[in-house]
Amino acid sequence: MSSRTSDRPNRFLDQVGSGLAACGVKNTRVLVAVSGGPDSVALLRALLAIRETTGIQLCVGHVNHRLRERSSDADAQWVSHLSQTLDVPCDIRTVEVIPGSDSGESLEESARRMRYDLLTAAAEDADCSAIAVAHTADDQAETILHHLVRGTGITGLQGMPRTRRLSDGVRLIRPMLDVSRTEVEAWLSTIDQETRIDASNSDTTLTRNRIRHSLLPLLASEFNPQIHRVLGTLAIQAGELADFVGKHAAALVNDIKLIATPDSLRIDCDVFRDQPTVLVREALRRIWQSQDWPQQRMGFREWQRLAEIAIEGGAASLPERIDARRRGSLLVLTRTHESSP
């Protein structure tokens, strides 16, 4: 065995350990979300290997959506058996996925929301402060490209954050965000660990899978073999820029004089004088969000038009039946409701 091959397990564990440290997790209980696939099984085995040095205690969480009937049940049984073999407590929860008709959620979006809701509940029941998911550098690259092809701004270029809050006491963490899928598979091979394969990951009718199986390999072979790393670096830089803009936009919002009702806003625009448009857009987005008004149909053009009205004057009809117009120094936003038949 070459020295390079023998070093592979230690290198992989070091990467996961560094990712865990970057998430700020140490000396706590962690629920590991395990689907049975290669990435999540590798994460579980790695965290088990470094738990003594990191002071973490582990539980396994698995959500059976029953989307693939017998295959889904078999996955749940396999994860339960693996957890028992590794002597790790396991919490398996089953749910029937129903797309959100009111919100326009797809089946995939509903499944994702329900999965995180159930994992959060499992983490709270097990007194875990973090849920570790096995997203890799490849997943990050796919996410960014997915956002790009659908249309995105700086926020979408951030991809998936390394951590995010799920509830008052539980955070989602991604310790393998800097690890490639190739490295995951190589490490699983060195420890002779079997995994489950989800056939739906090969369904190229789904945009995400076409990006994974067609677009990313094309970019890597024809343009840049380090495309995953390049997109990962882009995500970091976009995140830094978004944090910078967000910090200054929040300060701007604090200086704004406004009068708000559930269906209207009157915003004094004097504070926007000599401010860059990017800050005005973000400030208005935050004010809009504070009203709990829908944002799904507010794209870059709509936010840009709203910022122009705030800075220069004018009027426009915006999505969700919201009228925007400048009256003197005030930006007035009025939301009307569809009349009942």
- pLDDT score at 51: 95
Q: Does domain 256-335 have CATH number 2.60.40?
A: no
What are the average pLDDT values for consecutive 10-residue runs of the chain, which has 341 residues? 56 96 96 96 97 96 81 91 96 79 64 90 96 96 90 86 94 96 94 85 76 92 93 92 93 92 93 93 93 86 94 93 94 80 45
**pLDDT on residue 340:** 43
- Position 153 scores a pLDDT of 80
Task: Please give the single-letter amino acid code of residue 335.
Answer: R
**Side-chain-side CA neighbours of residue 202 (13 Å):** 3
* Contact call for residues 180 and 137 (beta carbons, < 8 A): yes
Q: Is the pTM of the predicted complex or chain greater than 0.85?
A: no
The pLDDT, as a whole number, for residue 341 is 45
Residue that the structure tokens 């056939």 belong to: 199
The pLDDT value recorded for residue 2 is 47
The pLDDT score that the predictor gives to residue 300 is 87
Instruction: Delimit the domains of the chain by residue range.
Output: 3-235, 256-335
What fold characterizes domain 3-235? Rossmann fold (3.40.50)
Q: Tokens 């509830």 belong to which residue?
A: 167
Q: Do domains 3-235 and 256-335 have the same CATH topology?
A: no
Own/partner pairs, 206-210, CB within 8 angstroms, 24+ separation: 206/108, 207/146, 207/149, 208/142, 208/146
Give the whole-angstrom CA distance, residue 39 versus residue 197.
Answer: 11
Neighbour-count burial of 338, counting CB atoms closer than 10 A to its CB (0-12 exposed, 13-18 middle, 19+ buried): exposed
Compute φ and ψ for 15, nearest 5 degrees.
Answer: -65, -45
Secondary structure of the chain in HEC code, one letter for each residue: CCHHHHHHHHHHHHHHHHHHHHCCCCCCEEEEECCCCHHHHHHHHHHHHHHHHHCCEEEEEEEECCCCCHHHHHHHHHHHHHHHHHCCCEEEEECCCCCCCCCCCCHHHHHHHHHHHHHHHHHHHCCCCEEECCCCHHHHHHHHHHHHHHCCCHHHHCCCCCEEEEECCEEEECCCCCCCHHHHHHHHHHCCCCCCCCHHHHCCCCHHHHHHHHHHHHHHHHCCCCHHHHHHHHHHHHHHHHHHHHHHHHHHHHHCCEEEECCEEEEEHHHHCCCCHHHHHHHHHHHHHHCCCCCCCCCHHHHHHHHHHHHHCCEEEECCCEEEEEECCEEEEEECCCCCC
CB 159 within 8 A of CB 145: no
Q: What is the pLDDT of residue 69?
A: 67
Give pLDDT, residue 207.
81
